[in-house]
Amino acid sequence: MTPPVQYALLAVVGVLSGLAAQRLSAAVRGSITTRIIRKSLLEGFALVPGIALTSEVLSHRAPGAGPFAMFAAAGAFLLPYVATRLAVYRSIAARSARREAMLPFLHWYQLLATDAAAAQAFLTSYLIQQGRRADLLAELRGACADLEATRRADPLLPLALARLRSEIARLSVTQV
């Protein structure tokens, strides 16, 4: 096997190991101590294929290849592994942040179905409280998009979207 093919194989194993480590560690349940121990073990086990493959690649190198060959082979595995772990972490963090930003609007929407006056008061007080935030307009637009995507058949949707769009228009005028 030629060195470029070996490095490509190490990179693929690095990406797959990174994905496997993330999926396995996300499935760990239990107390905090149990989770820390189990996650560490699972992440260590996810590194085993890459370490074994790196050792195999290095065993076929000439004895005088030097430390560069070792760093190149280890880097071909570890760089994709770390990059995959970081990308997955950022994706999960962004998804969690979007979900967290939607919570007040979901509460408002559910309140709208039972008590429209309380829903109006809740949204007004929430917008006043959050009024100084620069991303409030983007949050309102995201809430509209999320409601359109998840509540298409709900009869309250047109009323809720009209209310949110009026707040978007009001905030757009005041921020300009």
pTM: 0.66
CA nearest to 128, candidates 170, 176, 88: 170
Same domain (yes/no): 89, 7? yes
Domain final residue, candidates 95, 122, 151: 95
Same domain (yes/no): 82, 104? no
Tokens representing 169 are 């228009």
Cβ pair 29, 35 in contact under 8 A: yes
Segments of 69-165 assigned E as strands: none
Count of residues making up the chain? 176
Structure confidence at residue 153 (pLDDT):
86
**35 Cβ contact list (under 8 Å, min separation 6):** 28, 29
Tokens representing 43 are 């992440």
Tokens representing 137 are 């307009």
Same domain (yes/no): 141, 169? yes
Same domain (yes/no): 80, 112? no
Q: What are the counts of helices (DSSP H) followed by strands (DSSP E) for the chain?
A: 6, 0
Give the whole-angstrom CA distance, residue 73 versus residue 171. 54
Structure confidence at residue 63 (pLDDT):
60
Q: Which domain holds residue 19?
A: 3-95
List the chain residues with pLDDT less than 50: none
Same domain (yes/no): 127, 138? yes
Same domain (yes/no): 30, 57? yes
Tokens representing 78 are 């570890």
Structure confidence at residue 90 (pLDDT):
94
Q: Write the pLDDT tens digit of every residue in 119-145.
A: 999 988 888 888 767 788 888 898 899
Structure confidence at residue 165 (pLDDT):
92
- What SS3 class is residue 148? helix
Q: Write the pLDDT tens digit of every residue in 29-41.
A: 889 998 899 988 9
Number of domains in the chain: 2
Structure confidence at residue 55 (pLDDT):
84
Same domain (yes/no): 10, 90? yes
